[in-house]
Amino acid sequence: MREKYLPTIGLEIHIELKTRSKMFCSCKNDSQEKEPNINICPVCLGHPGTLPVINKEAVRKVIKTGIALNCKIAPWSFFERKNYFYPDLPKGYQISQYQKPLCENGFLIIFGKKIRIRRIHLEEDTARSIHLKEENASLVDFNRAGVPLMELVTEPDITSPKEAEDFAKELKLILRYLEVSEADMEKGQMRVEANISLGKGKKLGKKVEIKNLNSFKAVRKALEYEIERQKKILKKGGEIVQETRGWDDKKEITFSQRWIEEAKDYRYFPEPDLPPLKISRFQ
């Protein structure tokens, strides 16, 4: 009998934290503000000579989430610069955490099955680009730049599109209960990226990362589509290209976007403008 191809799925989830102010300045944290470029200041616009200050409430909310998800909480941590160029990134780098996430090695149980959580770290959101087709122009709205963003990464323990959807739904409930985030996917407050590969037996296949998933349904549908697409290629003896693919919600297909960058491409280094964080137990 021929062995079947089994899907392996890991999720990377970005969550906008519900705090009064942004991650490193005192601007209002309101990513839903309709009037562009009003919640901005020299810090979140990345003007030279400005200095960031850590938002304690954001750190607290990440730790709260980590405790709820059975993670080990780091006794100390620090921020790092993730360097890349993009019009929505005014500083030319994003302040993030790489070597020492605030939370590690947790888990969430979904219908009796343990899905391990590799890490949860804290970073800042980017601005929003708006592309106007008719005018052939792009605009940037910086209201979202510097909003506190938490990134949660699971181990590749998920084995079906439905399980990925259930994980995301359960996580949303927890985040809302903890008052960490509204976690509304349609509003971009919770953004799921799904990594998926097909393999036979214990051997994992090459993974594809799917972006632009704006609803729970999109998470499930995109994974279902991708399983079929990869299966067809593998059955013909072809190879899966390791890449990032977008999800087209209208056509219900994934499409190739770009090669996956590796950590070394970002030249991470410790953020020199911020002190290390010491996490005390009693605060």
- 197 touches which of ligand ADP, Zn ion, none (CB within 5 to 8 A by kind)? ligand ADP
Number of residues that bind ligand ADP (CB under 6 A): 15
Q: Which of residues 45-64 bind ligand ADP (CB under 6 A)?
A: none
Nearer to ligand ADP, 27 or 196 (CB): 196
Could you tell me the CA-to-CA distances from 148 to 8, 25, 181, 233, 234 in Å, in that order?
A: 30, 10, 10, 40, 41
Answer yes or no whether residue 227 interacts with ligand ADP by CB under 6 A. Answer: no
* Residues pairing with 130 in the sheet: 139
Got the DSSP string for the chain?
A: -PPPPEEEEEEEEEEE---SB-SSSSSB--TT-SSTT-S--TTTTT-TT------HHHHHHHHHHHHHTTPEEPSEE--EEEE---TT-TTSEEEE-SSS-SEEEEEEEETTEEEEEEEEEEEE---EEEEETTTTEEEEEGGGTT-EEEEEEE-S-B-SHHHHHHHHHHHHHHHHHTTS----GGGTSEEEEEEEEEESTT-----EEEEEE-SHHHHHHHHHHHHHHHHHHHHTT-----EEEEEETTTTEEEEEEEPP-GGGG--EE-TTSPPEE--S--
Using CB under 6 A, pick the residue from 5, 6, 12, 41 that binds ligand ADP: 12
Nearer to ligand ADP, 24 or 216 (CB): 216
Query: Under the rule (CB under 5 A), what is the footprint of Zn ion?
Result: 25, 27, 41, 43-44
Nearer to Zn ion, 71 or 127 (CB): 127
Taking CB under 6 A as the binding criterion, the range among 8-16, 100-108, 144-152, 184-192 that sits at the site for ligand ADP is 8-16
Q: Binding pattern to ligand ADP, positions 184-213, x when CB under 6 A?
A: -----------xxx------x--x------
Nearer to Zn ion, 26 or 256 (CB): 26
Least distance CB 239 / Zn ion (angstroms): 46
34 contact partners, CB below 8 Å, separation of at least 6 = none
Nearer to Zn ion, 40 or 150 (CB): 40
Least distance CB 81 / Zn ion (angstroms): 18
Answer yes or no whether residue 10 interacts with ligand ADP by CB under 6 A. Answer: yes
Answer yes or no whether residue 11 interacts with ligand ADP by CB under 6 A. Answer: yes
Nearer to ligand ADP, 10 or 90 (CB): 10
Answer yes or no whether residue 104 interacts with ligand ADP by CB under 6 A. Answer: no
Q: Which of residues 117-156 bind ligand ADP (CB under 6 A)?
A: 153-156
Nearer to ligand ADP, 77 or 195 (CB): 195
Binding site for ligand ADP (CB under 6 A): 8-12, 153-156, 195-197, 204, 207, 260
